A and B are shown apart, each in its own frame.
Chain A
């Protein structure tokens, strides 16, 4: 009896030892393979078998970040490409950073290669970035919320830091497109100037400069900078038809700002017409005939009407946006 028990224990122990050995070996092997794969490509492509082997099966002391995506053009997932680019930046930053270790790996499952993985995890959207922690099952917070955090590499890195305590300093490959565009523009302008080097009068054309300056003012005054920074919709669609003017004074639509720019422009044009009709600044009007006078009167009236009507419109739009604004002119 006693002997039997001892034997049992011995067998058990051997078995345990053996299993422990295979497990340890498995982990080392897996780590080795994963490191090799990462060395080749910083995001490891996974299919069902690989996914089960490296991500799901237990001997694991490393975290795995996996992106589930559908990159095939037939899937028409526009955002997948963006997320992939950002994800790639994070994976590369990690791989080439000082903090690189074999506690964290990046993988990717494409729907067309591993649709069974999608089924296994009951995923029906893409892209999804999930974190498979070294211990335990993924919690809800282990899949990244793009809506809240955004899809920028910095956001992904921050989320990874939240989940795994691995800090990744995102290193973006420098974006040369801006520099290239600038250089191209510079070369074009320089080339243009060089080609026309005998005829540079146009640079002294005050009219052109004045038009540019005035247009710049219109753009700024109508809030294009706000549009640029805040990215509002072009206009708002509601059940009762499109709305072009934002109701509040703290917001605006893109179309609205164009309308305002045009109203401003009309007032300015009207005023310039009036001034020119009245003789202009330099007053260089040699011949003054009766017909000329008629034309001037007409031009002046047109200018006056432009100024009054469009300024009233502007005031009305402003009044509609500002609660409790009491004043209006011509129109309510």
Chain B
């Protein structure tokens, strides 16, 4: 990977030496881009090399499952697919609740390859889709940056985005998720948008709308585009940069984009019914009004028209704003949804939507995760921003707005680091390009007049060269000098090297774990693979009835459906909060109350993740408090969060823990029969405590399967006849015939009565007492 980082600055060098012909620069561009593609692809393969070609984490399993379904049954069946294996007993209409772009993309690739008689399994396409698309993202970033600044900057940006951890975090091999292809669509849409604003041609606007359509089909983050582009237009209007080009490109893009985006079933009528999309239509109306006023102005360019233009524009803006507000109040337009609202009011989600707040990627971002994801780019991209604003034009307004909005969103939510990363790469590419360009360019002072025309096209600094032809003599001394220049070069080479090793390190260590296969390393560096998840899901698929219902926390829903092929109650598509709360309530109640809920929901098996034996911290006991919170939100009568804490408000599992905690279903299922974990046996290594409630029996459930490292524990829910019936010892199970009855009747009778008396005393002591009293 250092190769790519070095290759880019080398680009400038070569140009000086080989007199900068167009063909040569194209060759360099193609070489660097393909190297970037290769480096980006290679650096995302850690997981495949270390483990195997496997789908990662949670959401990718659903995407893979539905892709496989689509490949098998065809696109239209996929669109109409009612998945009865999810959200039992509700089911899920998959076609109408997914962004189908991802499945379509890999399905198309599969179809093409099979048409060419290349028999590749759909799983391998899914695994390698994101790394392949990272190369396309690099190219799109190159194009975008070239539109903004220069081709050199574009090459820098392409190399940066190919390996930057902020992007590879979502696009390693096996991470088959929407973001993997969406960032490409995002960058490409922005490139086409800039192209259309520059040229004002309908062709480019239509292209923008098509690319936007692809983005809408791929990822919910399309809302970012449909707000950023209108913001760009709006700011340009305020800056007085209205032009016919802007008018044409935005109106065409808006109308075509709107119509296309409504073709996606999951999006439907949202673009005209929700507040998130209203900025776009508001700006459209405003642009129309200003266009009309401009036309009037052009009819009679003298007199009061200019003031009319300003006043009319302000009035139109106010009217549009009031119309949107009124429509929202009347309920025609849905207000901001919680997910978007929580971006502005940062305390909102924490109070009102625990299910959003519970996801770790929805937390705010610390500086160290900015640095981790962007490294040297984090302190160089403001330089690019600085020069973009100082040398502003229509396109650079766009990139400045892009940077400012994305950096805000990334600050609010770790997950949105993904939208910040591309613009940081673009701006850092510009910054590095400016500096290295200047430093390297002065090499050419002795032979200034040779390269003029080509460099004018490639770099917007041709004036400098011309000047130097006149005053070549003093320039030799007035320049930076060889020492400073080479010092700068060496320092920046070191920075770029550090960047590339950091990226490799971060991708390898932080982002390449499939999370369904765990690895632990011994002291001697030996590696042990913990394959408990697949072991458990494999057990489910082999040993349970085909229609068995598995209850687990929603995190594991997609994996159970994808790998175990069994029906789940809740999964990672968290559309039904009350259903999730019901599962949370079952986990948080005691055994008998939980049994009622489980019977109600027809649960056959319960699956819990328990990391105590190996010290795996992402297990259910650690997530448990969120289950309680979500359950409390829906069932405030039955579940109280405070009951699960100790008197002093601590969350513990040892003997100091609260009684409710020690007796809830989740606790019992986690620690039932648990005797591993080193000394003393039964020690919980994740929480560093000895569980407070041990050696208990389960009445309503029985252990069905526990994986090798206790990581996944599966329990079977008993049928009512299994625990109501007293257990008979084997000796007494013989059917008594008439002869034996007559013989052994007295003995048997005696035993039975003695037993029965015991039972009576145990079960109904009050009744017996009452009898006794009356008798006496």
Contact = CB atoms under 8 A, between A and B. Distances in A.
Given A229-B364, A252-B368, A267-B380, A279 B438 contact: yes
B320 to A, nearest CB: 19
Nearest to A329: B498
B471 to A, nearest CB: 7
A251 B484 CA distance: 40
B347 A229 contact: yes
Interface string B243-278: 000000000000000000000000000000000000
B357 to A, nearest CB: 11
B329 interface: no
Given A288-B474, A307-B491, A268 B346 contact: no
Nearest to B499: A327
B411 interface: yes
Contacts of A301: 484, 487
A88 interface: no
Interface stretch (B159-167, B385-393, B561-569, B660-668): B385-393
Interface stretch (B14-22, B189-197, B401-409, B708-716): B401-409
Interface string B363-407: 011111111100010111111011101111000000010011001
A76 B122 CA distance: 70
B481 interface: yes
Given A217-B382, A220-B408, A281 B364 contact: no
A311 B478 contact: no
Interface in A197-254: 206-207, 209-210, 213-214, 216-218, 220-226, 228-230, 249-252
A297 B480 contact: yes
Given A216-B407, A268-B383, A296 B488 contact: no
A117 interface: no
B380 A278 contact: no
A217 B369 contact: no
Contact of B372 (A207, A252, A308, A322): A322
Interface stretch (A9-17, A51-59, A256-264): A256-264
Interface string B404-435: 10011011100000000000000000010011
A9 to B, nearest CB: 28
A271 interface: yes
Contacts of B640: 162
Nearest to A230: B364
A138 interface: no
A311 B379 contact: yes
Given A214-B385, A216-B404, A300 B347 contact: no
A178 B451 CA distance: 60
A230 B479 CA distance: 50
A292 interface: yes
B464 A279 contact: yes
Contact of A327 (B403, B478, B480, B505): B505
B400 A213 contact: yes
Size category, B interface = 35 or more
B292 to A, nearest CB: 26
Contact of B435 (A249, A274, A282): A274
B463 to A, nearest CB: 6
A73 B684 CA distance: 51
Contacts of A300: 480, 484, 488
Interface in B456-476: 461, 463-464, 467, 471, 474-475
A325 B467 CA distance: 48
A288 B412 CA distance: 48
Interface in A290-310: 290, 292-293, 296-297, 300-301, 304, 307-308, 310
A282 to B, nearest CB: 7
Contacts of A268: 379-380, 382-383, 386
B435 A275 contact: yes
Contacts of A224: 411
Interface residues of A, number: 72
B618 interface: no
B365 A225 contact: yes
Given A223-B365, A225-B364, A297-B480, A282 B371 contact: no
A233 to B, nearest CB: 15
Contacts of B491: 304, 307-308
A318 B371 CA distance: 8
A282 B435 CA distance: 12
A217 B498 contact: no
Contact of A221 (B367, B389, B488): B367
Contacts of B389: 206, 209-210, 213
A268 B379 CA distance: 6
B502 A327 contact: yes
B301 interface: no
A228 B640 CA distance: 29
Determine which residue in B400, B442, B474, B480 has the highest number of CB atoms from chain A within 10 A of its CB, and name it. B480
Determine which residue in A161, A217, A256 has the highest number of CB atoms from chain B within 10 A of its CB, and name it. A217
A326 B464 contact: no
Contact of A264 (B366, B379, B385): B379
Nearest to A222: B367
A293 B478 contact: yes
A230 B411 CA distance: 12
B520 to A, nearest CB: 15
Nearest to A305: B491
A225 B392 contact: no
A278 B435 contact: yes
A209 B138 CA distance: 30
Contacts of A149: 642
Contacts of A274: 435, 488
A289 B487 contact: no
Determine which residue in A224, A271, A325 has the highest number of CB atoms from chain B within 10 A of its CB, and name it. A271
B380 A221 contact: no
A289 B474 contact: yes
Given A221-B407, A225-B364, A263 B379 contact: yes
B74 interface: no
A87 to B, nearest CB: 19
A145 interface: yes
Given A250-B366, A268-B386, A329-B494, A278 B442 contact: yes
Contacts of A281: 387, 390-391, 434, 461
A307 B403 CA distance: 22
A275 B636 CA distance: 62
A272 interface: yes
Interface of B: 346-347, 351, 364-372, 376, 378-383, 385-387, 389-392, 400, 403-404, 407-408, 410-412, 431, 434-435, 438-439, 442, 461, 463-464, 467, 471, 474-475, 477-481, 484, 487-488, 491, 494-495, 498, 501-502, 505, 509, 636, 640, 642, 645, 649
Return the 3 tightest CB-CB contacts between A and B, nearest first.
Answer: A288-B478, A225-B411, A278-B438
21 contacts: A162-B636, A207-B390, A213-B382, A221-B370, A223-B411, A225-B408, A225-B411, A226-B411, A228-B346, A251-B366, A277-B480, A278-B439, A281-B387, A290-B474, A293-B479, A293-B480, A297-B484, A310-B379, A311-B495, A325-B505, A326-B505
Given A210-B386, A307-B491, 10 more contacts: A145-B649, A148-B642, A207-B390, A217-B385, A257-B367, A268-B383, A274-B435, A275-B387, A275-B435, A290-B478
